[in-house]
Amino acid sequence: MVQPLILGVDFGTQGVRTAIFKPDGRCLKMAFASYDTYYPHPGWAEQQPQEWWEAFTKALANCLDKVDSTQIAGMTVCGTASTVVAMARDGNPLMPAILWMDTRAASEAEKINSTRHKILKYSGGQDSVEWMLPKTLWIKENKPEVYHQTYQIMEQLDWINYRLTNQLVSSKCTVTCKWNYADVEDGWSDEFMKEIGLGDFREKIPVKVLPIGEKVGTMTAETAAQLGLPPGIMVYQGGIDAHIGMLGLGVVSPGQMGVIMGTSFVHLALTEQPIYHQGLWGPYPSAVIEGLWLLEGGQVSAGSLTRWFKDQLAGDLQYIDPDPYQILADQAKDIPPGAEGLMVLDTWQGNRTPYRDPLTKGAILGLTLSHTRAHLYRAILEGVAFGTRNILEAFKEADCPVKEMVACGGVLKNPVWLQIIADVTGVPIRRTTFSEAGVLGCAIAAAAGMKYYNGLAEATQTMVDYSENVLPNPDNALIYDFYFKSYKQTYEVLAPEMHRIHNFNNDRR
């Protein structure tokens, strides 16, 4: 008997990855297609939804090459969270999508947080400037004509699912973590929404909520024909790309931490009881696994810094073999820990945790004429590692210490960076055999939805395998202890001036 196949689709910041799996977790084919991010103003970040769909069709076509598409029976999609689409009734966007890293809605976030509403206790006491409600409020207050014309304001995932099935639904994962939905408080809070100025939310957002792995609907015949897929494929609910990545990492029970190391870093841990800590996001009830609470930390700028460096300061390497990132990593490896006094703050698009400061910018400290491009590249890698250690300390303060990180993402292709992160944090890093946890997590969600397994946790036991750990080098501990303290002190000194400069430029805009 031929087993049906599963399609996993992961919409990330830089592009979309599609992969076809067997129910046991074996990947038969995978493909990737990129799309662009646009930065029209400082702190702004936008993408074009139609470019997502075009990249998806391209990646899927490559993925289906030499694979019998008629065997595909189910699929799940994950996407970046708090990436806002204002959709007209005909399904087309009315404006560019506001990307998750966009920080234009700072004043709206302040307005929401000033309410001190009880629902905020499930998001660490406040909303982030990155999240959906501040951005939705920004559209309402700054683009009233768009808001008035909008049929639905939705997540990237919701828009893709709508294109696939013609169903308007939200993921419990995304609305719990980014929309102030809490099932322990009966879900949506009409009182809270009215207080922040979104009393009409039930008319403007997909209020039907489905947990991960539930049926969204059957792919429409028209869409299936367009994509080269058989009719009747069932689409199962996904969630935030990083959080679906937890499934692909096998992090589905308390005592583990999953770290998605990509464009941004996301640090995720499950607990049996709610833990409240001002330096972390959450605790989110049943956001990934029903009955468990989720704590989250994150760095807005991580892999995006190395891409910026490659594009802006290493253009001469673009057409040289091997890959430019490999050349830069090899050069950085020869630079001693601490980059000979050079240090970088990773807050180029603000700080998500533990400071929750959207107004800070990046900084390079300690430049001398003896420093080279390799020094600066290593300092960037170390700066991101210091940001990770800062978050791990917040978890420790919350009585949720991290003894091991299970990691996935593009950083796994850079062993130099992985070793730096292990050395700076003093925490071993466990790697999965299949590194693309997003698409694997989607396959796990679909496999559970298709009843191949009795729930998400059981599915991970079969579908996730592990490789060797990256262990900290104790010889570098004292060096990185010193520079980590300097990293924190530098933020404390520079943050007020960064705020002053931001406000000056914002007032002139």
Dump pLDDT digits (tens) for 298-308.
Answer: 999 999 999 99
pLDDT of residue 263: 87
**What is the spatial distance between Cα 246 and Cα 258, in angstroms, rounded to a whole number?**
6
Domain ranges of the chain: 5-239, 301-400+409-425+473-508
Instruction: For the chain, give percent helix, strand, coil, nearest 5.
Output: 45, 20, 35
Average pLDDT for the chain: 95
User: What's 5-239's CATH class?
Assistant: alpha beta
Distance CA 284, CA 293 (A): 5
The average pLDDT across 53-64 equals: 97
**Class (C level, CATH) for 301-400+409-425+473-508:** alpha beta
Bridge partners (DSSP) listed for residue 344: 364
Mean pLDDT along residues 124-152: 95
**Stretch 284-298: mean pLDDT, rounded?**
95
Q: Across residues 410-414, what is the average pLDDT?
A: 90
Asked whether the bond before 401 is cis by omega within 30 degrees of 0, the reply is no
Share of the chain above pLDDT 90, in %: 89
What is the predicted pLDDT for the residue at 508?
74
CB contact at 8 A, 503 and 466: no
Give the residues across from 170 on adjacent strands: 209
Give the pLDDT confidence score for residue 409 in this predicted structure: 84
Residue 197 parent element (H or E): none
Mean pLDDT on 426-441: 94
Burial tier of 14 (Cβ tally within 10 Å: 0-12, 13-18, 19+): middle
Please give the DSSP secondary-structure letter assigned to residue 41.
S
CA distance 234 to 217: 6
For residue 133, is pLDDT > 60? yes
If one counts every other C-beta atom within 10 angstroms of the C-beta of residue 275, the result is 16
Task: Give the up-direction half-sphere exposure of residue 217: CA atoms within 13 A in the CB hemisphere.
Answer: 18
Say whether 301-400+409-425+473-508 and 5-239 share the same fold. Answer: yes
For the sheet containing 152-155, what is the strand order?
A: 46-47, 97-98, 84-87, 152-155
- Give the per-residue pLDDT at 66: 84
pLDDT at 1 over 60: no
Q: Quote the pLDDT of residue 509.
A: 65
Helices 477-508 & 373-397 angle (0-180, nearest 10)? 90
CA distance to 117, 342, 379, per residue, from 374 (Å): 48, 11, 9
